[in-house]
Amino acid sequence: MEVKNAHFLMSNSDVTKCPDPNKPEFAFIGRSNVGKSSLINMLTGQKKLAKTSSRPGKTQLINHFVINDSWYLVDLPGYGYAKVSKKSKEKFQAYIVDYVLKRENLYCLFVLVDCRHEVQKIDLEFINWLGEKEVPFALIFTKADKLSNTNLAKNIASYKAELLTHWEELPPLFVSSSESGLGKEDILEYVDQFI
Ligand code: GTP
Ligand code: MG
């Protein structure tokens, strides 16, 4: 799929105020600073579409973008960011939980994990919760440019092995780099089959 146009539509913290669910929707979630907003910019080819920051906790709302006038792409706040979690006292903010469970046109939630790290407890908890709730999801390993091919392959293999101790089968998996553009075609092709 070619992204011909992409524009920002709205931000909010209430799933009932999101745009009409009249287009297939794909959302990006994961720990703060994992690279969600950067990936959205890479996929759309617009460097400043989603706001990024080297400091975690940048994205704080549910942000809707319209792609090719035919599908919604959503940038979500990260989880696991101490300052935010402490304030709200919940691991996963209530409006994110609401969004994930109630957004009827959500075709796939892309869960991003940093390819440099071992499986993190909070990611596993989140993924297991998605499985329990039967939310369709896929995994994206981010920041692939930060590892050698050998270490990348090693980390992904151990991540898969860990997931298979909890799950009978693996979800769809992608590897990405917002720096090099790795993963762009595969992720957009995956989205394309639904729209
Ligand atoms: P929150 O909105 O705070 O939850 O973070 P986020 O997941 O949206 O992360 P964001 O895209 O803002 O990126 C965080 C930092 O990681 C920024 O400094 C990015 O430049 C950097 N970054 C993101 N993706 C990549 C990548 O693929 N490669 C490299 N080298 N750096 C990346
Ligand atoms: Mg962000």
Residues of the chain under the 50 pLDDT cut: 85
Query: Residue 87's pLDDT is what?
Result: 54
Q: Which residues pair with 62 in a beta bridge?
A: 12
Distance CA 150, CA 134 (A): 34
pLDDT at 88: 54
The structure tokens listed for 109 are 């939630």
Q: What is the pTM of this model?
A: 0.95
Which two three-digit tokens encode residue 16? 């009932």
pLDDT at position 188, please?
98
**Superfamily holding 6-192:** P-loop containing nucleotide triphosphate hydrolases (3.40.50.300)
Pocket test for ligand 1, best of 11, 28, 31, 33 (most atoms within 8 A of CB): 33
The answer to whether the beta carbons of residues 123 and 34 sit under 8 Å apart is no
Ligand 2 centre to CA of 102 (Å) is 22
Residue 100 confidence (pLDDT): 96
Contact 109, 29 (CB under 8 A): yes
Q: Which residues of 32-52 are buried (b: 16+ CB within 10 A; e: fewer)?
A: bbbbbbbbbbbbbebeebbeb
Cα(149) to ligand 2 centroid in Å equals 26
HSE, side-chain direction, 13 A CA sphere, residue 108 = 19
List phi, psi (to 5°) of 141: -85, 120
- At residue 90, the pLDDT reads 65
